[in-house]
Amino acid sequence: MDTAIHTQPATGFPLPSADLDSLDFRREQIDRLTALIERHIAEGRYPGCQIALARHGKLALSKSFGNAATEPKPRAAADDTLWLLYSNTKVVTAVALWALAERGLFSFSDKIADHVPEFARNAKGNITVLQVITHQAGFPNAVVGPDAWADHKRLREVVCDFPLEWSPGSKVHYHGQSAHWTLGVLIEALTGKDFRDIIRETVCEKLGLGRELYVGLPESEFGRAADMHEPLPAGGGSRPLADNNSAAWRKSGAPGAGGYATARAMAALYQMMLNGGELAGRRIVSPRLLQYAIRNHTGDRVDEFMGMPMHRGLGPHLRGTTENVRGLGGFASPRAFGHGGVGTSYCWGDPDSGVSFAYITNNRIPDPWHSKRLDQIANLVHTAIV
């Protein structure tokens, strides 16, 4: 098995390295975590994986497992491999919106149509930004086709033509991509620039993650990208998932599903949130803005898509105190927050301990196995924290 261990981040990486013991992690629990991932790969559950663990502004662990690609021949996962984030991208887009809100360009209580007037079509005129970002907007099944990924004039037309499925605010129901395509259009209306450029300038480059976190992957970086896979129909192994490995998809920067990153970059992003909006001396937002954004805005209302309360913030969701919650681990602090990527990954931060963790794989595995492994993975980290 190809396994790479990263002990010193790339020059200029915003988190200095430290060891597990100095950051008060129980090494035996981390050993159990890595053994579990190695077993998953040996069983053919996913070709490759990358994890990163950070605490108090330091990187405790960054480790790559298995293969980033399997065809035409295997390519080992490496320190600088970029992994498809799927819906972890929603948090990256949210951080850009937090920064724009703090500059006074909009308020989360604004209606989308205040800034994109034609969004009022199809009875959507009263939908607020907060309703969109907390999955209460009422158009969860709306689709943006490939014809609009690169043509942002067309994108705005498609988003404004979204049909309303139910009364905004009446339900919490996960909007897989539709909400964040809407937020991408909003960013462009607020700034007059491509939302991918705004995210790059406002988040990725400002945090010193310009070569580790992308929403819109340049062709020059395709060679570092892990291929996404899907399980074989008969079970046991996987095959490349062509739609999500295409050049058009990688370049699109779908704001709710199309980001690429290293695991250590995601751990660093969450360290910024745990440190009051600042990372290595670079401030993105204020502590007060974070208190507003990373707050349970949907209470214990059940997300009808997830089948459980998700305690939605403005980007991440919180653990809360319900019996279970997706991805963060049953043992998590009620204040822990994070987000996942469909069938593949989860990234989170815990304000009670200062720990952030990223776990990213490259095979899109359905439930129930997916959710079960996420709980195991997260709980091994939670129980490693001293």
Residues whose CB is less than 8 angstroms from the CB of residue 242 and which lie 6 or more positions away in sequence, other chains included: none
Task: List, edge to edge, every strand of the sheet that includes 259-261.
Answer: 83-86, 259-261, 213-215
Residues whose CB is less than 8 angstroms from the CB of residue 288 and which lie 6 or more positions away in sequence, other chains included: none
Which pLDDT score, from 0 to 100, does residue 352 have? 98
Residues whose CB is less than 8 angstroms from the CB of residue 283 and which lie 6 or more positions away in sequence, other chains included: 277
User: What is the residue whose two structure tokens read 């920064």?
Assistant: 99
Q: Give the tokens for residue 149.
A: 């990924």
Q: What is the pLDDT of residues 65-102, one digit of tens each?
A: 999 999 999 999 999 999 999 999 999 999 999 999 99
pTM of the model: 0.96
Main-chain dihedrals φ then ψ at residue 263, nearest 5 degrees: -65, -35
| Sequential pLDDT tens for the chain (386 residues) | 333 333 334 458 999 999 999 999 999 999 999 999 999 999 999 999 999 999 999 999 999 999 999 999 999 999 999 999 999 999 999 999 999 999 999 999 999 999 999 999 999 999 999 999 999 999 999 999 999 999 999 999 999 999 999 999 999 999 999 999 999 999 999 999 999 999 999 999 999 999 999 999 999 999 999 999 999 998 778 999 999 999 999 999 999 999 999 999 999 999 999 999 999 999 999 999 999 999 999 999 999 999 999 999 999 999 999 998 999 999 999 999 999 999 999 999 999 999 999 999 999 999 999 999 999 999 999 999 99
Q: Give the tokens for residue 288.
A: 């007060």
User: What is the residue whose two structure tokens read 């014809």?
Assistant: 147
Which residue ranges make up each domain of the chain?
Answer: 3-93+198-382
Nearest to 231 by CA among 40, 23, 37, 372: 40
Main-chain dihedrals φ then ψ at residue 309, nearest 5 degrees: -65, 140
The enclosing H or E element of 356 equals: strand 355-361
Q: Give the tokens for residue 255.
A: 């704001």
Main-chain dihedrals φ then ψ at residue 261, nearest 5 degrees: -160, 165
Q: Give the tokens for residue 17.
A: 């390295």
SS3 309: strand
**Cβ proximity of 271 and 196 under 8 Å:** no
Fold of 3-93+198-382: Beta-lactamase (3.40.710)
The C-alpha angle 198, 174, 368, rounded to 5 degrees, equals 120
Q: What's at 260, amino acid-wise?
A: Y
Indicate left, alpha or beta for 320 from its phi (over 0: left) and psi (-120 to 50: alpha): left
Nearest to 357 by CA among 341, 372, 338: 338
Give CA–CA dist 84/138, Å, rounded: 27
Q: What is the pLDDT of residues 353-380, one digit of tens each?
A: 999 999 999 999 999 999 999 999 999 9
